[in-house]
Structure 1
Amino acid sequence: MENRKIWIKANGNEDIATGHIRRCMTIADELIRRGMDVEFILADDDSAHVLRVLSDQDNIVFDARILHTDYSKPEEELEIFAEFFKEEAPDFFLIDSYYATPDYFADLKDLIAESGRNIKLGLIDDFGKNDYPVDLIVNYDISGGKDIYSAGIKLLGEQYAPIRPAFSKTDYQVRPRARKVFLSTGGTDPYFVIKNILTEIYEGDSPCRKVLDVTGLECEVIVGTFFEEDYRRELEALSDRHKEITLHEHVTNMPELMSSCDYAVSAGGATLYELCAVGVPTVAFSMADNQVDFAIGFDKLGAAKYAGDARKDHRLVQKIVTWGTAAVDNPGFRKRMSDKARSIIDGKGTEKIVDAIVGLLV
């Protein structure tokens, strides 16, 4: 097959974090490996910054153009695309945005028809609440298939999670006693979950410290791209006071870091899928609507434990710490969860998505 042009539209900032761009980068990398010409379409400089930071971590460079529009109003981009289509057009246009409505896709299809171009459309959807006039749809929610979609190609379920290959190729060992914990909330931590967990474990007369033994527990903490500066300083102060806390920014060896930990605490986004691909027993929580079903789905299958929603569960931190402490001396429990997680997430979702895109363009 001759080189085909692929556009990928995704954004990232302190409100929507980095997950959209991260998963699209994973797909883009595989498309490029297959000989496709890939270009990111970004709304603004914030999104360009996210793409640049994540690309630097992965030691890869992507072509990108910035539209200088409001990421939450994709309808503003339609006139821009109409002008683009007069001069050039992709063979396939993959869109990853919660703000792209069925009407938006209908208008985009009208523009494509008016331009005389043959552009296939794809969407990554997390909610399964609407049908979209697209040729290919991806929804890797673990809770099951969605019968609402009418797209010709439907890639549904956890087998299509776009995991970076390194995560599924990492060896993992369940140790007799857990002593190292991986903590991540993704690109942001608007509810200060990490700080509250660390405070509960290491400082003051917290309820957990009065009844639970956390002696020697080490925490590997991921500092997200959009953590506010004041918050970073608070975490640095905690780390300075307690040698058991290690902060990590711009991590380039994430699979290895995950595999060195005995269990994890993670928001229910892309990181949860990566942890499961590695096999790290995980207690998950949600802090956005799209994370709730993901985390609950893993819990129902025994691949992770769901602790609750950071937006409304006032006992979330105590539940997380209690679960983690109970898992310390229970290697059998941790191994069962690890084995189940790895059996569900095989790490081949990216390849399957790209296979479908390439097949669509034959």
Structure 2
Amino acid sequence: MHIAFRADASIRIGTGHVMRCLTLAEALRSRGHESTFICRNHTGNLANLIEERGFQLHMLNLEAPTQQSTDSKDDSAVAHVEWLGASWQTDAEQTISALKGTKIDWLVVDHYALDARWERRVSVGVKDIMVIDDIADRPHECKVLLDQNLGRNAQDYDGLVPEICIRLVGPNYALLRPEFAEFRERSLERRRMPELKRILITLGGVDRDNVTGQVLSALAQSTLPRETELDVVMGASAPALEAVREQAERLPFQASVSVNVTDMAERMCMADLCIGAAGSTSWERCCLGLPSIMVVLAENQRGIGQALEQSGAAYLLGKEELPESLGRALNELVLSNSALIGLAARAEGICDGLGSFRLVEELSRNQTP
């Protein structure tokens, strides 16, 4: 099969959409399939990473405001329309042009600013369409829909997708790289006798509000033992990267700041606790049974965070309550191994890390001849 992906990364959008598409593309490649990416040239895009991974890439130019659709009533139906960098009509035509002359078996769409209108327009040039969504806030015209989030029900998409659409819902289909499943047994074994010595801090590839810096400030004022190790992971496009590096040098703990890491599964395996965003990396942490304190960085993450908190798999904080609430949570975990054991046990039952391969099987089984 030849699969095309339409997804974007930017300072505003973050990196999660492109990263999970890359995970799926690599799973497809492991089964002998070919993938092509179509992305717009936003500030903070991941073009270099996509090409480094060996995938074909078509970059779409940002459109000036005067070139965007003037039909505000039409565009206002999509809450994140400003994330696109063009009108949906322009984006559709540019996508069709990018794919012209290529036989595409599946077009995978992972973008909050695109809906059924765009999907109908581009369907003329592809066999089938799959949509990756998280928020169930707009209609889609697709054969397969994936929503990997805990707490989501297939019925949430009633009236938003065709009746014949195959709905793949829940963390069983979470798009995780294969190394997470490979590290799962080793990581879960570490959770049986926990001790809080090493904390992984990963608050998204962009972290435009520098929540990482707020977390480090809160940790500096906490009662954590001074021998605690901090492993801070950021994206190269994070605006506060240099400020965080300087801040880490002044901490009373041993702290390292790493950028664009490729060994996240091993880092999560070796960590005793993660302070992380309530986004798609939540499923990586669950796969490895890593106890977590989650921070909601964007409204679309709130549902994930609440579902995990209600399941007892993580603590949930809003970024506005960080210093005081983070300190209380840390004190509880430092004083109680049983709290760490409970978080780990409930997290590991949520996701096994094999979702990417389940999805590849679904696409292979349901492709149009």
TM-score category (smaller protein)? 0.7 to 0.9
Matched, 1:165 2:174: no
Tell me the secondary structure at the aligned position of residue 169 of structure 1: helix
Q: Report the counterpart of residue 244 of structure 2 in structure 1.
A: 235
For 2:8 and 2:293, the matched residues in 1 are separated by: 28
Q: Report the counterpart of residue 15 of structure 1 in structure 2.
A: 12
> Structure 2 residue aligned with 1:97, among 108, 111, 129?
111
> Structure 2 residue aligned with 1:247, among 233, 241, 257?
257
CA gap of 1:82–1:197, structure 2 versus 1, over 3 A, is closer
Q: Report the counterpart of residue 259 of structure 1 in structure 2.
A: 269
Aligned residues: 336
Tell me the secondary structure at the aligned position of residue 201 of structure 2: strand
| Contact 1:41–1:64 (8 Å) recurs in 2 | yes
For 1:77 and 1:176, the matched residues in 2 are separated by: 50
Which AA in structure 2 matches 1:161?
A: A
Instruction: Name whichever of 149-158 and 7-16 sits farther off.
Output: 149-158
> Structure 1 residue aligned with 2:31, among 31, 34, 37?
34
Matched, 1:289 2:286: no
Matched, 1:50 2:50: no
Which AA in structure 1 matches 2:48?
A: R
Which AA in structure 2 matches 1:166?
A: E
Matched, 1:225 2:236: yes
CA gap of 1:324–1:83, structure 2 versus 1, over 3 A, is same
| Contact 2:7–2:39 (8 Å) recurs in 1 | yes
RMSD: 2.1
Q: Report the counterpart of residue 94 of structure 2 in structure 1.
A: 80
Tell me the secondary structure at the aligned position of residue 307 of structure 1: strand
Note the C-alpha offset of 1:26.
0.7
Note the C-alpha offset of 1:191.
2.6
Note the C-alpha offset of 1:141.
1.5
> CA-to-partner distance for each residue in 1:132-167, whole Å, 9 max, x for gaps?
111110011101313124352111111111011111
> Structure 2 residue aligned with 1:63, among 37, 43, 56?
56
Note the C-alpha offset of 1:272.
1.6
| Contact 1:185–1:267 (8 Å) recurs in 2 | yes
Tell me the secondary structure at the aligned position of residue 215 of structure 2: helix
> CA-to-partner distance for each residue in 1:278-302, whole Å, 9 max, x for gaps?
1110011111122110111111111
CA gap of 1:82–1:347, structure 2 versus 1, over 3 A, is closer
Q: Report the counterpart of residue 182 of structure 1 in structure 2.
A: 200
For 2:89 and 2:292, the matched residues in 1 are separated by: 39
For 1:261 and 1:66, the matched residues in 2 are separated by: 37
Note the C-alpha offset of 1:233.
2.5
Tell me the secondary structure at the aligned position of residue 284 of structure 1: strand
Which AA in structure 2 matches 1:360?
A: N
The runs of 5 or more residues in structure 2 that have no matched partner are 64-83
Note the C-alpha offset of 1:239.
2.2
Q: Report the counterpart of residue 285 of structure 2 in structure 1.
A: 275
| Contact 2:11–2:208 (8 Å) recurs in 1 | no
Note the C-alpha offset of 1:45.
6.3
TM-score normalised by structure 2 residue count: 0.85
| Contact 2:202–2:232 (8 Å) recurs in 1 | yes
Matched, 1:197 2:215: yes
Matched, 1:138 2:135: no
> CA-to-partner distance for each residue in 1:223-274, whole Å, 9 max, x for gaps?
223211xx22222222222352111112121111111111111111122211
> Structure 2 residue aligned with 1:342, among 332, 348, 354?
348
Note the C-alpha offset of 1:85.
6.0
CA gap of 1:65–1:163, structure 2 versus 1, over 3 A, is same
Matched, 1:125 2:133: yes
| Contact 2:115–2:141 (8 Å) recurs in 1 | no
For 2:96 and 2:305, the matched residues in 1 are separated by: 39
For 2:43 and 2:60, the matched residues in 1 are separated by: 12
Which AA in structure 1 matches 2:49?
A: V
For 1:220 and 1:62, the matched residues in 2 are separated by: 30
Q: Report the counterpart of residue 323 of structure 1 in structure 2.
A: 329
| Contact 2:173–2:358 (8 Å) recurs in 1 | yes
> Structure 1 residue aligned with 2:315, among 305, 311, 330?
305
Which AA in structure 2 matches 1:303?
A: A
Note the C-alpha offset of 1:84.
5.1
For 2:51 and 2:273, the matched residues in 1 are separated by: 27
For 2:234 and 2:272, the matched residues in 1 are separated by: 19
Matched, 1:216 2:227: yes
